[in-house]
A and B are shown apart, each in its own frame.
Chain A
């Protein structure tokens, strides 16, 4: 490796370690609101975005179904775990099953649904794949919205009162959920990094680059894609379970078109080509979304004469990012290092190819 490339790797590792330390010590460093609302949400959205970026970076498939899968896990868990409590009005099937069993079934069920979705979509590529996964999202949204027996428009509430024993009380101890989310995020990240180096992962990347060649080499391309999709569904289901524990409620609004597109926006802002982009993008999006409300930018819109609210600002920021740097923030980072690399010049002797005529 060239000098700059090694430096980049070390810098990235150092930054990663630093961020991890900050994240672990967050309850001490920042206030409770930041830990409970911003950072936990960043972790949850980051895990979902990671499932999306895993598929896009290593599978070459951009999926809009991750939010739906996240929501499906949440709805399954909510329906199974809640029961009619004396003082609360929750909706759904109200099965009242054991929380641990429900947790396992929710994750398992979502992964199975992900495998089915993947099996159907695996033969399509590129933009067709995007549209088919968007259709899944539509199906899930209308299903939970209109089949009122499993949710209805108002959704299911009170879910975080029914956490499995080994997880403990989520409602009163807010740091607990933060650390669990942090652990899950690290585990998912580590798992993906591991998987992409296994034969399966390498085959997947091969399929991403040259599906026809891989097919002729004997690999079952649709099967690999389906399995990758199922894996991403598994990750998304973890995010979904964490989401309902964090929010305590889940409703069709959580998997609507807007939320689905927001997850894509998060992944694009972070960078569709690199896993770390998931958390970077989540952080940037959530912080901007949170703080842009009461800022001077909305007044700026009025003075310029355009009018509108912070949604226009978010749309403009997103537009700017897509036009200027479609690889997102991580892509920007990579390009910066590439820039440095260019100015550095070659640092290895390179063999100059001899013109054909001179060889004789």
Chain B
């Protein structure tokens, strides 16, 4: 017995126990400990709906909210992660591509349905959403290509310099968007009319938004598409090799410049598509470029850079923690405590940074 104990490495065990304890307590709280709010007051166990065993419908709604939110996060963050993993470029203009994508789609949709203000769902058909999305993704892909060829191709390896260049570009783009698109006023893209309904979920027995499920479907489609591309095509193989060992890959005679360009184009297109979906889910306005850059950053920090699985894990964790903390934190009244939901998200970040700084699925730097 003592023989076994001597091999236990406390330095690795303690952090794992801490993390396991925190996660275990959180799950216990959500599933069992929480209680529904009484008429007046409350205590540390009171939450909006009680525990999952009290009100499992709310639990599944929150779960679905988190998953669908993660879908959009994944679409945007996967592009960021791809560009970083392969080219070691921190594309600080990623949020700008998101913003441009949303506005381009808005302009195209306005031109197609021609009203000058938000189109109502009933008046939009599928093509009037798909075409703007395609045009947005393609045009921003071209913008990304231009940026990469003009500004990032000749200084490969100078990571800080590339980050600074993309920062300058993001400042310029943000200002130009205000000047040229809609005067800087918020805009929204409308989903096709047929999607504006709640559908009955088969096993769960409650209704859920079809549009949010579409977002989740897009996220899954992008994930599957990226996986297929990275793991089943030759270009993908080169990209994975480049992520693992770039000098060697280049030394093997592969046209690494072409691969970089392709990766940057794909990443920008994903950001723009994410912008279209984001603009449909809410509104798009200047200022969101910074927000979505930070969202992408958080996802890849949690999940690990340059890893597809990492982007999935990061999006899921971030989206779920965000959704659950807003609903399942204790609430003793209007002054406490759901406004601390951001703290829970940061605890997640802090845990990852403290115990696994390269991210859950990242490679050690």
Q: Does a CB–CB distance below 8 Å link A and B in the complex?
A: yes
Chain A contact residues, CB within 8 Å of chain B? 62, 120-121, 123-128, 130-132, 134-135, 138-139, 142-143, 146-148, 256-258, 261, 264-265, 268, 272, 306-309, 311-312, 314-316, 318-319, 322-323, 326
Which residues of A lie under 8 Å from residue B301 when comparing CB positions? 131-132, 135
Q: How far apart are the CA atoms of A131 and B342 in the complex, in Å?
A: 20
Given contacts A120-B353, A135-B297, A261-B167, contact A142 B90 (CB under 8 A): no
Tell me, yes or no, whether B130 is within 8 Å of chain A by CB.
no
| Cβ A265 vs Cβ B167 within 8 A | yes
| Cβ B353 vs Cβ A132 within 8 A | yes
Residue of B nearest to A119 (CB): B354
Which residues of A lie under 8 Å from residue B90 when comparing CB positions? 127, 130-131
Contact among B164, B169, B349 for A139, CB-based, below 8 A: B349
Given contacts A142-B342, A311-B171, A315-B169, contact A326 B158 (CB under 8 A): yes
Which residues of B lie under 8 Å from residue A131 when comparing CB positions? 90, 297, 300-301, 305
Which residues of A lie under 8 Å from residue B365 when comparing CB positions? 123-126, 128
Tell me, yes or no, whether B138 is within 8 Å of chain A by CB.
no
Contact among A132, A143, A257 for B293, CB-based, below 8 A: A257
| Cβ B343 vs Cβ A308 within 8 A | no
| Cβ A322 vs Cβ B171 within 8 A | no
Given contacts A120-B357, A319-B172, contact A147 B342 (CB under 8 A): yes
Distance in Å from the Cβ of B351 to the closest Cβ of chain A?
A: 11
| Cβ B339 vs Cβ A135 within 8 A | no
Q: Is chain A's interface secondary structure helix, strand, loop, or mixed overall?
A: helix
Chain B contact residues, CB within 8 Å of chain A? 84, 88, 90, 92, 151, 158-161, 163-165, 167-169, 171-172, 174-176, 178-180, 290, 293-294, 297-298, 300-301, 305, 339-343, 345-346, 349-350, 353-354, 357-358, 365
Given contacts A135-B349, A146-B342, contact A258 B290 (CB under 8 A): yes
| Cβ A121 vs Cβ B171 within 8 A | no
Q: How far apart are the CA atoms of A135 and B290 in the complex, in Å?
A: 13
Distance in Å from the Cβ of A58 to the closest Cβ of chain B?
A: 16
| Cβ A322 vs Cβ B179 within 8 A | no
Which residues of B lie under 8 Å from residue A123 when comparing CB positions? 357, 365
Which residues of B lie under 8 Å from residue A127 when comparing CB positions? 84, 88, 90, 159-160, 163
| Cβ B357 vs Cβ A124 within 8 A | yes
Q: How far apart are the CA atoms of A256 and B167 in the complex, in Å?
A: 14
Which residues of B lie under 8 Å from residue A138 when comparing CB positions? 294, 297-298
Residue of B nearest to A62 (CB): B160
Q: Which 4 A-B pairs have the closest CB atoms?
A: A315-B171, A315-B172, A319-B168, A311-B175
Q: How far apart are the CA atoms of A343 and B169 in the complex, in Å?
A: 37
Which residues of B lie under 8 Å from residue A308 when comparing CB positions? 172, 175-176, 178-179
Q: How far apart are the CA atoms of A124 and B354 in the complex, in Å?
A: 12
Contact among A121, A126, A143, A256 for B357, CB-based, below 8 A: A121
Q: How far apart are the CA atoms of A128 and B167 in the complex, in Å?
A: 16
Q: How far apart are the CA atoms of A318 and B339 in the complex, in Å?
A: 38
Which residues of A lie under 8 Å from residue B151 when comparing CB positions? 323
Distance in Å from the Cβ of B287 to the closest Cβ of chain A?
A: 10
Known: A135-B298, A257-B293. 18 other contacts (CB 8 A): A124-B357, A126-B159, A127-B159, A130-B160, A131-B90, A131-B297, A131-B305, A132-B353, A134-B297, A138-B297, A147-B342, A307-B180, A308-B175, A311-B171, A312-B171, A314-B171, A315-B172, A319-B172
Which residues of B lie under 8 Å from residue A147 when comparing CB positions? 339-340, 342-343
Which residues of B lie under 8 Å from residue A139 when comparing CB positions? 346, 349-350
Residue of A nearest to B301 (CB): A135
Q: How far apart are the CA atoms of A355 and B90 in the complex, in Å?
A: 47
Q: List 27 A-B contacts (CB under 8 A).
A: A123-B357, A125-B365, A126-B159, A127-B90, A128-B305, A131-B90, A131-B300, A135-B353, A139-B350, A142-B345, A143-B342, A146-B341, A147-B343, A256-B290, A258-B290, A261-B92, A261-B167, A264-B164, A306-B179, A307-B176, A307-B180, A308-B172, A308-B179, A312-B179, A315-B168, A322-B168, A323-B151
Which residues of A lie under 8 Å from residue B175 when comparing CB positions? 308-309, 311-312, 315
Which residues of B lie under 8 Å from residue A128 when comparing CB positions? 305, 357-358, 365
Which residues of B lie under 8 Å from residue A135 when comparing CB positions? 297-298, 301, 349, 353
Given contacts A143-B343, A265-B167, contact A306 B176 (CB under 8 A): yes
Q: How far apart are the CA atoms of A272 and B163 in the complex, in Å?
A: 14
Which residues of B lie under 8 Å from residue A125 when comparing CB positions? 365
Distance in Å from the Cβ of B147 to the closest Cβ of chain A?
A: 11
Which residues of B lie under 8 Å from residue A256 when comparing CB positions? 290
Distance in Å from the Cβ of A68 to the closest Cβ of chain B?
A: 13
Distance in Å from the Cβ of B305 to the closest Cβ of chain A?
A: 8
Which residues of B lie under 8 Å from residue A323 when comparing CB positions? 151, 165
Which residues of A lie under 8 Å from residue B180 when comparing CB positions? 307
Which residues of B lie under 8 Å from residue A265 when comparing CB positions? 164, 167
Which residues of A lie under 8 Å from residue B164 when comparing CB positions? 264-265, 268, 318, 322, 326
Distance in Å from the Cβ of A255 to the closest Cβ of chain B?
A: 13
Q: How far apart are the CA atoms of A89 and B314 in the complex, in Å?
A: 41
Residue of A nearest to B167 (CB): A261
Contact among A62, A146, A322 for B339, CB-based, below 8 A: A146
| Cβ B161 vs Cβ A326 within 8 A | yes
Distance in Å from the Cβ of B67 to the closest Cβ of chain A?
A: 23
Which residues of B lie under 8 Å from residue A311 when comparing CB positions? 171-172, 174-175
Given contacts A127-B90, A308-B176, A309-B179, contact A322 B161 (CB under 8 A): yes
Distance in Å from the Cβ of A288 to the closest Cβ of chain B?
A: 13
Residue of A nearest to B174 (CB): A311
Residue of B nearest to A56 (CB): B160
Which residues of B lie under 8 Å from residue A268 when comparing CB positions? 164
Residue of A nearest to B362 (CB): A128
Q: How far apart are the CA atoms of A261 and B161 in the complex, in Å?
A: 14
Residue of A nearest to B165 (CB): A322
Given contacts A125-B365, A135-B297, A143-B342, contact A316 B354 (CB under 8 A): no
Q: Which interface residue of B159, B167, B301 has the most chain A CB atoms within 10 A?
A: B167
Distance in Å from the Cβ of B290 to the closest Cβ of chain A?
A: 5
Q: Which interface residue of A139, A258, A265, A272 has the most chain B CB atoms within 10 A?
A: A139
| Cβ B167 vs Cβ A142 within 8 A | no
Distance in Å from the Cβ of A328 to the closest Cβ of chain B?
A: 10
